[in-house]
Amino acid sequence: MALEIRERDLLGRIGRLETKRGSVETPALLPVINPAIQPISPKAMQREFGCQALITNAYIIKKHSTEKAVKCGVHRLLDFDGVVMTDSGGYQILVYGNVGTTNAEIIRFQEQIDTDIATILDVPTGWGFSKEHAQETVEETLKRGKELFKIKSKDDILWVGPVQGGVHLDWVAKSAKAMGKMPFQVHALGSPTPVMEQYVFDALVDMIMTAKRNLPPNRALHLFGAGHPFIFGLVVALGCDLFDSAAYAIYARDDRYMTETGTTRLTKLEYFPCSCPVCSRTSPESVKEMPKTERQVFLARHNLHISLKEIKQVKQAIMEGRLWDHLEMRSHGHPALFQALKRLGKYAEYLEANSPATKRSGIFFYSSVGLNRPEVVRHKRRLLERYVPPSETEILVLLPQTRLKPFHKSKEHSRLLEEMEQRLGEKKRLVHICTYAAPFGVVPRELDEVYPLSQYEAASPFDSETLNHVADLVRSYIRQAHYRKVMLLNDPENWEGRVFSACKAICKTKRIPLKVFSPARPWNKSAISRMINTLHNTLSDKT
């Protein structure tokens, strides 16, 4: 087992990937190192930035420095004693079509230079190609994957089995299943770079999730060419453990300054919105006056700081169980990211099944996008599939949510419960109190202290999708329950009559009585008294 998992949230996981040169904490960003162009040296990345691992290109090294690399090894060549991963030249195949070397040659060369994590010479699918082309790249990459185990002579290298197929998800699934049957320690999703360059992040969600669901869960997943750090939280949440990026250097060449939510041209900056070690000591005006090479180094260093800072924020979000909240914040940095967050709804059940049931902190609910978060999906499933109301209860009393949680400890609920105790006595066992609330729909009194039903905050007024979600859950809950009568304390101001309409429709279908109390202020004393009187009379008539 090369990967050991320590913490999880959504599909994101903090773990430790063991290599012959030491362990790498995941999720990890591997900065791309071009041996010929280094605005930040590998040694500086390790000593000043704390990088545990980096990635370089074995094909480029083989093309320009074969003898030297074989003689001294890739670590001495780069002057880096951390973990080195090598790509094989697959991206060059995508760009140039032919790289003048073979899979066998690249495999043996990576062994000769003593890399820690190595990649077969895969054939990327690319973007905008036909399904027939996708099939060819998948089959050729699988063929080369099988070749590895006949060619390799060392057992101390972690080998990467790339998954191809591009946006053709059926071929991504076939590729992942077949690669997963081979004894690779790490897998990688190929061909994402064009998708990310065009900001088609919802397609990226589909690609990663298709690969993830068909790969062995105990293996690390690498994403080639992750690019800008504002995407890191999303790809980690989808289950990527490693990803590389050359964006820190590429953006610097074009005088682009990274921020948490995008990029800005250096020429447009009057102030640096950053307190990293390089930005805190100077001003945009001073940097604009630097010679071009010096300016590129400055920007590359800042961009790398921003990238590594985002990784730490993602990890902390996993530790606190707030990775979804982090995604929501980042999603407002660009419409394409928000669209990708919405696409997670397609995989809501899979995310729920693979997310922790309890966390260290409560949750924040902002809008209907949060209806796809695992905690909400899990409550809906368990409420409708597992929960059974107390067997003695005959009357459902539905109360609106209160600001204070748990609901049954609020002054509003307490007043009603106290009056029920006085007026109904033992007959109160026939009454079942539930709260209708966003985003969980129906919260039975006996469960409202169970995580996360009282450990959350929701922003109101609720949007239309959230109102419909709660109303639909109320309807579904009543449909399957055994109640003989329903009483609703209606809150028309906050719920626009949707819960009332849901109750009316399902009670008519089930042919059970519905009594609605709909005062101007739902929690005023007269409304509570009328409800208690009705309960008392109903139970007395029954007796």
526 close to 537: Cβ distance less than 8 angstroms: no
CA distance 293 to 307: 21
Which of these, 412, 405, 413, lies nearest to 440 by C-alpha position? 405
Which ranges of 441-524 does DSSP label H, i.e. alpha helix? 464-480, 492-495, 498-510
**Domains of the chain by start residue, with CATH:** 3-353 (3.20.20.105), 365-542 (3.40.50.10630)
CA–CA separation, 512 and 230 (whole Å): 52
| Res 95: pLDDT | 62
Q: What are the pLDDT tens digits along the chain (543 aa)?
A: 589 999 999 999 999 999 999 999 999 999 999 887 889 999 999 999 999 999 999 999 998 889 999 999 999 999 999 999 999 887 776 666 677 789 999 999 999 999 999 999 999 888 888 999 999 999 999 999 999 999 999 999 999 999 999 999 999 999 999 999 999 999 999 877 777 778 889 999 999 999 999 999 999 999 998 889 999 999 999 999 999 999 999 999 999 999 988 999 999 999 999 999 999 999 999 999 999 999 999 999 999 999 999 999 999 999 999 999 999 999 998 999 999 999 999 999 999 999 998 888 899 999 999 999 999 999 999 999 999 999 999 999 999 999 999 999 999 999 898 888 888 888 999 999 999 999 999 999 999 999 999 999 999 999 999 999 999 999 999 999 999 999 999 998 889 899 999 999 999 999 999 999 988 787 888 888 889 999 998 888 765
Q: What is the pLDDT of residue 217?
A: 94
Question: Tokens 């995008």 correspond to what residue?
Answer: 262
Structure token pair of residue 211: 């690969």
pLDDT of residue 540: 82
Q: How far apart are CA 510 and CA 322, in angstroms?
A: 41
The phi, psi pair for 312, rounded to 5°, reads -65, -40
For all residues of the chain together, what is the average pLDDT?
A: 93
Q: What is the pLDDT of residue 161?
A: 96
Distance CA 321, CA 351 (A): 14
Nearest CA-CA partner of 179 in 222, 226, 220, 138: 138
pLDDT given at position 90: 74
∠ Cα 210 345 354 (to 5°) = 60
State the Cα–Cα distance between residues 250 and 248, nearest whole angstrom. 6
213 three-state secondary structure? helix
d(CA 343, CA 260): 22
pLDDT at 523: 85
Model pTM? Answer: 0.92
Q: How far is CA 115 from CA 20, 74, 161, 411, in A?
A: 9, 6, 16, 65
Active site residues per annotation:
87
**What's the CA gap between 146 and 92, in Å, rounded?**
22
pLDDT at 226: 86
**Helix residue ranges per DSSP H, 52-192:** 58-78, 90-96, 103-112, 131-151, 169-180
Buried b (16+ CB within 10 A) or exposed e, 334-346: bebbbebbebbee
Order the strands of the 12-19 sheet from edge to edge.
3-9, 12-19, 22-26
Q: How far is CA 531 from the centre of its chain?
A: 45
Cis amide leading into 335 (omega within 30): no
Which tokens belong to 191? 């061909």
With CA atoms as reference, report the closest residue to 439 among 458, 460, 455, 413.
458
Q: Are strands 242-245 and 485-489 parallel, antiparallel or unpaired?
A: unpaired
